[in-house]
Amino acid sequence: MDAVTRDFYEERRRKWRRSAFLWGFGIAAVLGLIIGGLSRIEAGWPAGPHIAHVAITDVIFDDTERDRMLQDLRDSEDARALYLEIDSPGGTTVGSEALYELVREIGEDRPVVAVMGEVAASGGYIAAIAADHIVARGNTLTGSIGVIMEYPDMTELLDRVGVEFQTVRSSPLKAEPSPYREPSAEGRAVQEAIIADSYDWFRGLVGARRELKGAALDAVADGRVFTGRMALDAGLVDALGGPDAAFAWLESVEPELADLPTKTWELAEEESGFLGIFGKITGLGDSLSRISDRRGPRLLSLYN
């Protein structure tokens, strides 16, 4: 092959490679758009003007997927109001805090109403007070305003079986509390300070959101549980009823909401293996999987 012919074929190959690269890049871009569109469809976020419905059930944990969903709802121009359905005994303080903050962000430019079910206590009540209006059933269990940290004390058991833990630590307060030794007075004081700080935060939310102070706030913030009727008298909720009362309030705030459909925002469930089957049978799958993944102590805003 002479030099001219070789150069000709080499130039053809270079053009083919450039063309293949451009075609490949174009196909990849199109596929990316298609996959992105499908993922948005798969996420199931409703479209068109509507009242968004979000259910908060079971124990509340710090949940990045839930938070992403609420962030998308916050940014949605189609969700004109939020109907929050709560049936939860509470959960971790951090999880309840994150949920509260996102619901408040949603409520900055649209009305939010919360309806309590069987129970909306402790962290569940934190979620409720993020709403502008709270509706409870007469026998809903609510309140339980407080924070708790619990851990097992295994020292007596270890003594009985003859097991002794040797600990080397940088300071006396490192890794306190521990189930393997009696807490020191100083360690106990530190834990109590943590509980007191979180409790002050919770109490402050209730006071600010429900416009309670002094003796009225003291009367509801001692950890006790109330029925819906008692909560109404104490100023913890705004009305008794169910979804009808909630939608009536929304329409009184913004009459145009009466013409909008209600659409549910929810995460896809992922169940697998024995835990998934057991969870489906018992209805505890989400809690079991989350609890099994917990590591270390947690501050709980939980009615138990």
Mean pLDDT, residues 97-118 taken together: 97
122 is catalytic: yes
Q: What would the 3-class secondary structure string for 192-219 be? A: HHHHHHHHHHHHHHHHHHHCCCHHHHHH
Give per-residue pLDDT as tens, 8-37.
Answer: 556 666 666 666 555 665 665 555 555 555
> What's the pLDDT at 49?
94
Give per-residue pLDDT as tens, 271-299.
Answer: 544 445 445 444 555 555 554 444 455 66
Contacts of 16 (CB under 8 A, 6+ apart): none
19 is catalytic: no
- Strand 112-121 versus strand 133-136 pairing type: parallel
> What's the pLDDT at 4?
52
Location of structure tokens 């521990």: 178
> What's the pLDDT at 196?
95
Give per-residue pLDDT as tens, 193-249.
Answer: 999 999 999 999 999 999 999 999 999 999 999 999 999 999 999 999 999 999 999
For residues 256 and 290, the model is more confident at 256
Give the ranges where the chain is alpha helix by DSSP (H).
3-43, 64-75, 93-106, 123-128, 155-161, 185-210, 214-220, 228-234, 243-253, 273-282, 285-292
Q: Among 122, 144, 178, 198, which one carries the catalytic annotation?
A: 122
Taking the C-alpha atoms of residue 226 and residue 289, their distance in angstroms, rounded to an integer, is: 30
Taking the C-alpha atoms of residue 232 and residue 226, their distance in angstroms, rounded to an integer, is: 9
Contact 145, 223 (CB under 8 A): yes
Taking the C-alpha atoms of residue 201 and residue 190, their distance in angstroms, rounded to an integer, is: 17
Q: Among 15, 174, 213, 280, which one carries the catalytic annotation?
A: 174
* Global confidence as pTM: 0.76
